[in-house]
Homo-oligomer: A and B are copies of this chain.
Amino acid sequence: MTGRGRGAYADIMTVPAPGYCSAAAEQLLDFVFAEVWQRPNLTRRERRFVTLPCVADADAEGPLRDHVYAALSSGDVAIGEMQETVLHFAVYAGWPKASRFNMVVDQQWERIHAERGLPVPAPEPLLPLTTPSDPEQRLCVGEQSFKDINCLPYAPNRDNPFQGAGILNFVFGEMWLRPGLGVKERRLITVACVAFQDAPYPILSHVYAALKSRDLSFDEMDELALHFAAHCGWPKAEHLGQVIAEQKQRVTAEWAGESEATS
């Protein structure tokens, strides 16, 4: 690794760069840390919310542990935000991978406190929830939240277990509405997750909604694609890039139409 690569690695990972591996690995480390992470349009903190789902998806225990440690140790991500990230990731990437992510978060949080000679603070209590408990009211909240977050005029039919018990009741009726993680951070996590999950419609709908809501600018979304490529591989990133290009056009056309309609 070059001196610049070593410095960038130590800055981002909060530990010294590893010793010499192979020529091939060194070159990749230089590219990822000294080039990609240094670019404008997404802050280092925002890049954490793209990186964490990528490493949690990849099942590579070492990188997951290192990035969780770095995000918490640097102070870029608070423990409550990290735990909400795990729940959000569980929904979009599956609970088994989230279960390991959750364990790693607990371990690294303890490790950081042990290294600093501090006790681990007590967790925030779960109850009371901020969302309604009555099933009919939850579904109504979920329907509105589904429309708002997806920038769509309709919500799915509730009389289907996946859509009713899952999407409306839990994902949009509860999970997206939880305080403790900003909507921009949820957008970054979601786009990363749908991009590695590959199912075509969710990639399209979440890229669209992130741009349409203006939660992510066009430049931020392009930057997300590059950061994602470096951490989840080029083929998935190439597909994401195509979807982004199409959805930018769609959103631009819709904004032009809305601007005409209101002028």
Contact = CB atoms under 8 A, between A and B. Distances in A.
B20 A161 contact: no
Interface residues of A, number: 100
How many copies of this chain does one complex carry? 3
A78 interface: no
A199 B59 contact: yes
A203 to B, nearest CB: 8
A61 B103 CA distance: 12
A255 interface: no
Interface in A190-224: 193-194, 197-203, 222-223
Interface string A15-39: 0000011111111100110011001
A261 interface: no
A24 B83 contact: yes
A4 interface: no
Given A23-B222, A123-B20, A239 B161 contact: no
B234 A100 contact: no
Interface of A: 20-28, 31-32, 35-36, 39, 54-55, 58-64, 83-84, 86-87, 90-100, 102-103, 105-106, 123-129, 133-136, 139, 157-167, 169-171, 174-175, 178, 180, 193-194, 197-203, 222-223, 225-226, 229-239, 241-242, 244-245
